[in-house]
Amino acid sequence: MLAAALCTSASVFAAAVVGQPAPAFSAVDTAGKSVSLADFKGKTVVLEWVNPGCPYVRKHYDSANMPATQKSAIAKGAVWLAINSTHTGASDYLAPAALAGWMRDKGASPTATLMDADGKVGRAYGARTTPHMYVIDPRGTLVYVGAIDSKPTANPADIKTATNHVNAALAEVLAGKPVSQPVTQAYGCSVKYGD
Per-residue pLDDT band for 195 (boundaries 50, 70, 90) equals confident
Question: Is the distance from CB of 49 to CB of 66 less than 8 angstroms?
Answer: no
What is d(CA 189, CA 195) in angstroms, rounded to the nearest whole number? 17
Residue 17 has pLDDT above 60, yes or no: yes
Long-range contacts of 97-106 (CB under 8 A, 24+ apart): 97/30, 99/30, 99/52, 100/30, 100/31, 102/52, 103/30, 106/61, 106/62, 106/64, 106/66, 106/67
pTM of the predicted model as reported, rounded to 2 decimal places: 0.92
Q: Dump pLDDT digits (tens) for 6-15.
A: 333 333 445 6
Residue 112 has pLDDT above 90, yes or no: yes
pLDDT tens figures, 26-83? 999 999 999 999 999 999 999 999 999 999 999 999 999 999 999 999 999 999 999 9
pLDDT of residue 1: 33
Report H helices in the chain.
Answer: 2-12, 55-62, 65-75, 96-105, 120-125, 165-174
- Residue 4, pLDDT above cutoff 70: no
